[in-house]
Each structure stands twice: as structure tokens, then as C-alpha cells.
């Protein structure tokens, strides 16, 4: 009888496991405890998937037998594809391919735009390099979009959802880039423009050539104007905002020149136009103890050498508000940035986006730039100065409009020719997020920075680092010792009870 009951119990357990396994094929559940909900699909993605009118095919090219950190990318991307397929009710079809299996699959991956990378793999106590594929191609009708390489910590949901949206868009929204007053051109901003072109059509637009701004422009970008605006041009901007337009202004209110070591105000008339709209960018420079470095030539006796010195005129912003434009960013560098202030009332919604650090200050211009200056605490008497802000409301009793203002333009400009520089990822993300917030109503703006966030211990102060170091070393030992004392005490109590007169 006991043997029969044993077989019945075993059969029931096996049946339950099989049923759970069958259900798990169609039902995908996971719990997300990450700080930025890294593994939870956004409403923007769900809306895109639910509104698909035709099937989407995704070929994921992922190598196998990779180091654990890289192998996790394959697992996370596969989980993401399962969710996409479920929410789209089968309209998203996917296939996971290992190109390393044969040369034909490798050729297919390369033809689809997937770039192989070399990774170090440990095999039999030796480290060797192996070709790895970590990418995907999304196909819709006759069109396709490749994600050549998915690096660790990348915002997978944004990459996948934006690619699907790009393929399914019937017409890209138009964004105008103002020209005619010495503004930055498309060629001077290749990094941000390449990102914007995924979802928008960018058109250079000269205010001199028209009396009005076309109504189909989702947003207008004014980046680094250097020449004066005429009254007529400012009136065009006036009418655009009054009619509910959306505008991004990145304005170098002060020009800092490291060649002649001088910083002078930049007056184009745009600053006066902003004042009329209750927005002020004073002709001052923000200095910050949290800053970038510049290379200077120094002399020691007969020797000359180059060295890097801290340069407070290049603040590194790490304080961001919880807003779709700035949420999820880690740090953005702003060369020669001016403060952004709101001087109006509560009729306009004013949202500071980015702040300087707790140790910052303001310098009036014009001013001589002394790279060799020895900065002290008395130079940084201000804190949390606003470097960028978003404004929403009705100006001049017009329609609801939006304006985003940055007190610096260089943060988003690569430059020309040999003077071109590489922008940090968050510099690019910040600018493109701002354009998305102004132009895109799908909600994808919040996904670009929805990635694995790095919080290095080096950013902690020395006392906190010391505390964590000793706590990490001593806590396990203390727990073991504490558990040993507890067991010894418990056993002692048991022995006393056993030795008692009435112990049974």
C-alpha cells in the first residue's frame, strides 16, 4: 500500500511539473525589482506592439558559449522577444540564430548588417579570442532595420521599439533646424543628427526665406546662433510660439575662447526675445568644482611638458530632475555654460532639468580665463544652479506651447574638421530626449536612458568607502560568530534542561 501511494505521489509531481512547463510556454512572468524598471515594458512599447497592422519578423543573431556577462545579453534579449510576441498577439515573430555554427549563417548575419566582435573566452585554463555576434535585424514588409551590436547595459527596449516604430512609420515627423544667424549646421552635429534621423526628418530652415514657420514642423531647433536676429525674424518666432509651437534653444550666451583666454558675452537679440517670454540667460559663466579637464603646457626648470588640470569652466553636471528629458542620465559636460532663470509667474510651468553641483559659482563676463588659477572653496559659494529648463504654457494668450532652453550649445556640437570632438553618450541622449519630448507623443523618450545604470564606488567620499570596505570584510565574520554564539547558548540551555530533576 505504501509503495502504491509512493508511485501515485511521484506521478502527480511529474504531472504538475509537465503542466507548469506547458503553461510557461505561453505565459511569461517575471518580477522587476530594478531601480529604473529595466525589465518592465513601458506603455509606449505596448502601444506600438498593439497597433501593429502587419507582422514584424526579428532575427536575433547571438553566439553561444560566451562569458557570463556577455551571455546575459542573449538571455535578456530573448526574454524581451518573448514579451514582444505575447503583447503583439503573435504579430512579432522571432528567431534566434547562432552564426558560429557554420559559414553560411555567418555570411547571412553580416549581410543583414550585424557586426561581429572579438571577445576573450576561457577554455581549458587558457584565454583565447572568439568571434561573437550580438545583434538583430527587424523586418517589416520590404524594409529592414539592423541593430548591429548590443553592448552590455544597452537600452534594449529602446533599440527594439524605436526600430519597429521607424519601420512602421508612414511619414516621419519634421523637425526644423534654424539657419541664417550663424547657427550650427547638420554637418557640425553628426552624433545627435544620426540619432534624430531614426525617427525624424531634419530640415534646415532659414528664417529669412519665409514669413511663417510651416505648421507641419513638430519642433524648431535653434543651436548656437552667433549673428543678430532681425525684428522680423523674432516676430516669426513669436507667432510660432503663440500658435502652439515647440522650440529647443541651445544658446552660447557667453563665448569662451581658449586661444586668447577670454570670455565675452554673445548678443544676438535672442536673449531679449527670451526675456519677453520671461526666460533669462544672464551673461555669466557657471564654474563648478565638479568639472572637466584641459591640457596645458607647464615648465619645470629646463623641461616643458603637457599636463591635465581641472577646469571649472567646464562643469560636469550630475544632478538631474525626474523629467522625461533628463531622467536616467549619469553625467553631461557643459563647456562655458550660463545659468537659465525663469522671471515670470505661475502661468507658465517651469521645470529645471539640470543643476550644477553643491560646490559651484557664477562669474560675470567679460572675464580673463586663467587656466593656472588655484581654485579654493571661496570660489564655489553657490549650489544647484540651473543649467537647462523646460517651459510649458500659453504665451501672449496663445495656444499651449513648449520651450526647452540650454545655457550652452557646445554640449551637443561636435564641431568642424580637425576641431571636431566626440560627445559623451549622455550629451547625445540629453539633446535627443529633449527633441523627443517636444516632438514625439508615443512616450519613447523615457526609454533611451532605460539601461543598466553604473554607480561606481569611486564617486563616494573617502569615509563612506572605508566604511563599506570594512563592513564588506567584517560583516560575514560577525554573522558567523553571532550564529556560533547563538547555537552554543541554545545547546547549553538544552543540556541544563536534560540535567534537571524532572527532565523526560
Task: Reduce the secondary structure of 352-373 to three states and give it as a string.
Answer: EEEECCCCEEEEECCEECCCCC
Angle at Cα 94 formed by Cα 135 and Cα 65, nearest 5°? 50
pTM score, whole prediction: 0.78
Give tens-digit pLDDT for 8-43: 777 777 777 677 666 555 555 555 545 555 567 888
What is the domain partition of the chain in residue ranges? 44-167, 174-439, 459-499
What pLDDT was estimated at residue 38?
59
Region class of 301: left (phi > 0), else alpha (psi between -120 and 50), else beta:
left
Contact, 130 vs 119, CB < 8 A?
yes
What pLDDT was estimated at residue 33?
47
CA distances from 279 to 183, 341, 388, 391, 428 (A): 20, 6, 11, 9, 24
Give tens-digit pLDDT for 392-401: 999 988 999 9
Contact, 29 vs 23, CB < 8 A?
no
Give tens-digit pLDDT for 122-164: 776 677 788 889 999 999 999 999 999 998 888 899 899 989 9
Q: Which residues contact 191 (CB under 8 A, 6 or more apart)?
A: 414, 422, 423, 428
C-alpha cell at 328: 536616467
What pLDDT was estimated at residue 39?
62
Output the average pLDDT for the chain. 87
- Domain 44-167 = CATH 3.40.30.10: yes
**CATH number of the 174-439 domain:** 3.40.50
Angle at which helix 43-50 crosses helix 156-168, to 10 degrees, equals 30
Which of 155, 146, 111, 148 lies closest to 132, judged by CA?
148
What pLDDT was estimated at residue 325?
94
What pLDDT was estimated at residue 291?
96
C-alpha cell at 504: 523526560
What stretches in the chain show pLDDT beneath 70? Answer: 1-2, 4-7, 17, 20-39, 124-125, 298-305, 443, 446, 449-462, 500-504
What pLDDT was estimated at residue 2?
58
What pLDDT was estimated at residue 502?
55
What pLDDT was estimated at residue 452?
46
Amino acid at each position: 500500500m505504501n509503495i502504491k501511494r509512493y508511485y501515485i505521489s511521484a506521478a502527480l509531481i511529474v504531472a504538475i511539473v509537465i503542466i507548469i512547463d506547458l503553461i510557461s510556454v505561453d505565459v511569461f512572468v517575471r518580477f522587476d525589482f530594478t531601480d529604473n524598471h529595466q525589465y518592465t515594458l513601458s506603455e509606449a512599447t505596448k502601444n506600438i506592439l498593439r497597433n501593429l497592422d502587419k507582422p514584424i519578423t526579428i532575427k536575433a543573431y547571438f553566439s553561444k558559449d560566451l562569458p557570463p556577462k556577455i551571455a546575459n545579453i542573449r538571455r535578456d534579449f530573448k526574454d524581451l522577444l518573448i514579451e514582444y510576441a505575447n503583447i503583439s498577439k503573435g504579430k512579432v515573430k522571432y528567431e534566434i540564430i547562432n552564426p558560429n555554427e557554420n559559414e553560411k549563417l555567418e555570411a547571412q548575419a553580416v549581410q543583414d548588417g550585424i557586426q561581429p566582435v572579438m571577445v576573450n573566452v576561457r577554455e581549458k585554463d587558457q584565454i583565447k579570442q572568439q568571434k561573437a555576434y550580438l545583434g538583430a535585424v527587424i523586418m517589416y514588409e520590404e524594409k529592414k532595420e539592423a541593430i548591429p551590436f548590443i553592448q552590455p547595459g544597452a537600452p534594449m527596449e529602446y533599440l527594439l521599439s524605436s526600430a519597429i516604430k521607424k519601420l512602421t512609420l508612414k511619414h516621419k515627423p519634421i523637425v526644423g533646424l534654424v539657419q541664417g544667424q550663424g547657427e550650427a549646421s547638420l554637418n557640425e552635429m553628426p552624433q545627435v543628427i544620426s540619432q534624430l534621423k531614426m525617427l525624424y526628418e531634419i530640415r534646415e530652415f532659414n528664417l529669412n526665406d519665409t514669413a511663417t514657420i510651416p505648421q507641419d514642423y513638430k519642433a524648431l531647433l535653434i543651436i548656437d546662433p552667433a549673428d543678430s536676429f532681425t525684428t522680423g525674424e523674432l516676430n516669426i518666432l513669436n507667432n510660432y510660439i503663440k500658435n502652439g509651437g515647440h522650440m529647443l534653444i541651445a544658446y552660447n550666451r557667453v563665448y569662451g575662447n581658449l586661444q586668447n583666454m577670454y570670455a565675452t558675452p554673445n548678443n544676438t537679440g535672442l536673449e531679449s526675445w527670451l526675456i519677453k517670454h520671461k526666460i533669462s540667460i544672464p551673461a555669466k559663466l557657471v564654474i563648478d568644482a565638479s568639472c572637466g579637464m584641459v591640457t596645458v603646457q607647464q615648465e619645470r626648470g629646463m623641461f616643458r611638458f603637457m599636463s591635465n588640470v581641472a577646469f571649472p569652466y567646464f562643469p560636469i553636471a550630475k544632478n538631474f530632475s525626474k523629467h522625461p528629458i533628463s531622467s536616467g542620465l549619469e553625467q553631461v559636460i557643459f563647456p562655458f555654460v550660463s545659468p537659465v532663470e525663469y522671471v515670470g509667474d505661475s502661468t507658465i510651468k517651469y521645470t529645471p532639468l539640470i543643476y550644477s553641483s553643491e560646490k559651484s559659482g557664477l562669474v560675470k563676463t567679460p572675464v580673463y580665463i586663467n587656466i593656472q588659477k588655484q581654485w579654493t572653496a571661496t570660489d564655489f559659494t553657490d549650489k544647484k544652479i540651473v543649467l537647462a529648463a523646460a517651459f510649458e504654457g500659453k504665451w501672449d494668450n496663445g495656444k499651449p506651447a513648449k520651450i526647452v532652453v540650454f545655457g550652452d550649445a557646445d554640449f551637443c556640437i561636435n564641431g568642424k574638421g580637425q576641431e571636431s570632438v566626440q560627445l559623451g553618450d549622455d550629451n547625445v541622449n540629453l539633446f535627443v530626449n529633449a527633441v523627443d519630448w517636444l516632438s514625439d507623443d508615443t512616450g519613447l523618450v523615457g526609454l533611451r536612458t532605460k539601461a543598466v545604470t553604473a554607480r561606481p564606488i569611486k564617486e563616494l567620499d573617502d569615509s563612506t568607502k572605508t566604511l563599506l570596505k570594512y563592513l564588506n570584510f567584517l560583516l560575514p565574520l560577525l554573522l558567523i560568530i553571532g550564529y556560533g554564539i547563538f547555537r552554543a547558548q541554545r545547546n547549553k540551555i538544552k543540556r541544563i534542561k536534560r540535567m534537571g530533576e524532572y527532565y523526560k
